[in-house]
Amino acid sequence: MNRFTYEELFVGQTAEFSREITNEMMDKFCEISGDVNPLHKEESFAKDKGYPGRVVYGMLTSAMYSCLGGYTYPGKIVFYKVFILIFSPQCLLVIR
């Protein structure tokens, strides 16, 4: 984990990492999210709709920003953020 101080950050500074999205990640995301859209789950369905194969969940790619902002860059200072709502494991979420 990077440990930049606030003073070390500047406008225009960048950071990056790469990660391969695997079928296993897709299957786990499906299980967690409950999104069973065949475009994400079925190779043949996606191809029939004109895609080269399964389409990666948009929210799965968006989740990578959590790693970029919380671990890769800027790192430890992100943990000083105050959250309005904090959820713990075993909590019941009602999505409306």
CATH superfamily of 6-80: Hotdog Thioesterase (3.10.129.10)
In this predicted structure, what is the pLDDT of residue 81? 56
**Residue 79 half-sphere exposure, CB side, CA atoms within 13 Å?**
9
In this predicted structure, what is the pLDDT of residue 42? 96
Residue 91 phi, psi (nearest 5)? -80, 155
Rounded distance, CA 85 to CA 55, Å? 31
Tell me: the pLDDT tens digits for 8-60? 888 888 877 889 999 999 999 999 999 999 999 999 999 999 999 999 999 99
In this predicted structure, what is the pLDDT of residue 38? 98
Give the domain ranges of the chain: 6-80
Tell me: the pLDDT tens digits for 55-88? 999 999 988 887 777 766 666 655 555 667 777 7
